[in-house]
Amino acid sequence: MAQNVTNVSQTEEVSSTRRVIAASSVGTLIEWYDFYIFGTLAKIISEQFFPKDNPTAALLATLATFAAGFVIRPFGALFFGRLGDLIGRKYTFLVTLVIMGGSTFAIGLVPGYKTIGFFAPAIVFVLRLLQGLALGGEYGGAATYVAEHSPAGQRGFWTSFIQTTATLGLFLALGVILIVRQTLGVETFSDWGWRIPFLLSALLVGVSVFIRMKMSESPMFVKMKKEGKTSANPLAESFKQKDNLKMVLIALLGATAGQGVVWYTGQFYALSFLQNTCNVEFVQSNMIISIALLIGTPFFVVFGALSDKIGRKYIMMAGMLIAVLSYGPLYNSMYDNANLKNKIEIVEKTTVETKEAVKGTDNITTTVTKKTFTDGTTYKETQKLTVPLDEAKKAELAAAGKLKPETKKETTLSDSIKNKMIGIVLIQVIFVTMVYGPIAAFLVEIFPTRIRYTSMSLPYHIGNGVFGGLVPLIATRLVEASKEPGYSNPLTNAINSFTGHIGTPAGQVDPLAGLMYPILIASVSFIIGMLYISNKTNNMDVE
Amino acid sequence: MSAIKRLFGIVWTLMGVGIIPLVIMQAMKEIAAKPSEENWIFWSIVIVVLMPIISFSLITFGVFALKGEYDVIA
């Protein structure tokens, strides 16, 4: 009889934990979705909201806005973390959800630069900052809330479901964008269809708010509040007391910084590399990433659960070390697989079509070149030259060297190479799951309940948001810098000497240059983590 | 192990201090060579956001390590 009562009680406990996980995860997933559609649509947003005169500046401006979204996250972590430690986890992460949903929806409504001029990028910038603030408050709340509901000994397993949400949010963002783009067509999507994924957020957030309203407050927080043990000043307690500051620093430098760069390299930089360096066609590149993410996602739970058995430290450190050692060969292989110079062209299948049209005051010449290769890969190059009909204007542009065609290169890989690419990205996603799966449990366990929300949020968002979020910006910059004369990259040199390549000729881009930043940060983080982090599993008293 | 941790404390502190002139000099060199808007944006982000975080955290962490604060991790 007593055994039955125990079993019923255990079943109820597991069922209750599952409800908590589901409700927390759905909300966090939607927040990540909201955050990532902006980054995924960076190119279109730059065309819509930033002056077109200089496409690089426009893209960089978008990336800066994107980075601003990340850079502001630590401030959100401080602001909402403090609130969460003062008034409770539940209401705080309800507020963050509403702010995130509201700003995402509003981005979908902002008129373009052509309509309202400078106000367009200014409004988008502010909304992006709000997104960053909200995200900064969300994750720590969700991880803390779930950890405080989880039974001891299973914290890695249960919190790993929260860890899946960032990747699933990216997957959802890519999926929605692809579906809307395919349904509306490329032109309509670029014109106004890109707004739909933003507007859809209102619906998703509405559902999530409804679910979260029904959740109860964290039992540990309720107990602590009843006993009057909540912190009066969580910020001061977290960062002015040496014992806590020590742990904040170790969490940042030994774990979250390395985790952040591995996370962004394996997912975002991989996508950017496929699209911008390998010129893989938009839909196919997104499909490659999406499939790899989907296959890799269960490994968050695998490594989260494993960390309950063998400890958090060695799984995270192994992920960082393997990533550092293998990024060079992996990205080199991606580049080689997509490089048209390594393929044999079927010359008789090559077609060149030229069309001329007058649009407004301009004469537009469009030249489309299509090539097919023996392995089934196809290549399409579209050159669009816009020349003013007015001769004086034409001469002026020619003198300024601005009469250059816009070139768009699209490579559609054969199925076998596409599958190889999925495999290579999947390997990187596995590294992501190793460093990211156990980290929520690791963070909640090193800080006490009274200041946990504040203390864990800051290192997480600095590591993930600043160190990780800047990967696209810094990596793009490093690739650009590789064109300069005298440029030398030890990583590329090592790979070239190993594979027999002849190196990057002066003036050409070194495709691996962007990897130096994540490799450097992850290496330092690995050394600090190995030296200073202990490998305790769940021995730390969460209460 | 404690001795290694303390010894590395010097490395982290020096890295935190050393990164400041390195980054500033590189920024000045690149902006002087090409004073474009994108150069300004990029280096502003690095100098205002990334560098202070890296320097402050490495120096503080290094000093703690050097003092033996991390000899025993709870």
| ipTM confidence score | 0.94
In tens, the pLDDT along A394-434 reads 888 888 777 888 888 999 999 999 999 999 999 999 999 99
Q: Quick check: A276 pLDDT over 90?
A: no
Backbone dihedral region of A500: left (phi > 0), alpha (psi from -120 to 50 degrees) or beta? left
Q: Beta partners for A383?
A: A367, A407
Tell which residue, A128, A150, A138, has the closest CA to residue A49.
A128
CB of B43 less than 8 A from some CB of A: no
Nearest-angstrom CA–CA distance, A68 and A273: 21
Q: Which CATH class is domain A11-340+416-532?
A: mainly alpha
According to DSSP, residue A339 is labeled -
Nearest-angstrom CA–CA distance, A509 and A507: 7
Determine which of A15-19, A136-140, A277-281 has the lowest per-residue pLDDT on average. A15-19
In tens, the pLDDT along B45-64 reads 899 889 999 999 999 999 99
Pairing of strands A351-359, A362-372: antiparallel
- Closest residue in A to B37 (Cα–Cα): A57
Nearest-angstrom CA–CA distance, A379 and A3: 68
- Domain coordinates in residue numbering, chain A: 11-340+416-532, 347-413
Work out the pLDDT band at A510, boundaries 50, 70, 90. Answer: confident
In tens, the pLDDT along A450-494 reads 888 888 888 999 998 889 988 988 888 888 887 776 666 666 666
Helix (H, G, I), strand (E, B) or coil at A100: helix
- Any idea how long chain A is? 543
Q: Quick check: A4 pLDDT over 70?
A: no
Contact A477 B42 (CB under 8 A): yes
Distance from CA of B38 to the nearest CA of A (A): 6
Q: What percent of chain B has pLDDT over 90?
A: 59
**Helices vs strands, H then E, count in chain B:** 3, 0
A1 or A454: whose pLDDT is higher? A454
Give whole-number Cα distances, A225 to A91, A163, A354, A524, in Å.
15, 28, 73, 40
Nearest-angstrom CA–CA distance, A426 and A279: 19
- Closest residue in A to B57 (Cα–Cα): A249
Q: What pLDDT is recorded for position A497?
A: 65
Work out the pLDDT band at A348, boundaries 50, 70, 90. Answer: very high
Distance from CA of B69 to the nearest CA of A (A): 8
| Two tokens, residue A264 | 């962004």
Which ranges constitute the DSSP H helices of A214-311? 219-226, 234-239, 242-251, 257-264, 270-272, 282-296, 298-310
Nearest-angstrom CA–CA distance, A59 and A42: 7
Distance from CA of A367 to the nearest CA of B (A): 30
- If one counts every other C-beta atom within 10 angstroms of the C-beta of residue A284, the result is 17
CB of B24 less than 8 A from some CB of A: no
> b/e per residue, A429-438, with b = 16+ CB within 10 A?
bbbbbbbbbb
